[in-house]
Amino acid sequence: MLRQFLADEKNGKAKLLQLLDAKENELKSANKALSQCRTELVAMKKQLEQATSSRSKLLYILLLSCILIASLVFGRN
């Protein structure tokens, strides 16, 4: 009876260790995916900042062009 109990405990411990290993691998995989998402997020943020900066410059040039054209048109009259 004691031997059976010890065998059951040993099997239970082995199953728990397998479950623990599986959960550890799952956690490592999730951590790797999170790290990859963070890297992608940083790249997207940088791309967004560049696009915003480019649009701001374009709007500034457009505004200056409009002012220059308006001053030329109204300056002649």
pLDDT digits (tens, 9 = 90+) for 48-71: 999 999 999 999 999 999 999 999
What is the average pLDDT score of the chain? 94
Report the percentage of the chain scoring pLDDT > 70. Answer: 99
CA 21/CA 32 separation, integer angstroms: 16
Structural domain tally of the chain?
A: 1
| pTM recorded for the entire structure | 0.61
Return d(Cα 6, Cα 13) in angstroms, integer.
Answer: 10
Angle at the Cα of 41 from the Cα atoms of 37 and 46, rounded to 5 degrees: 155
Q: Which domain holds residue 54?
A: 1-77
**pLDDT confidence of residue 5:** 83
Mean pLDDT of 11-34: 97
Confidence bin at 75 (pLDDT 50/70/90): confident
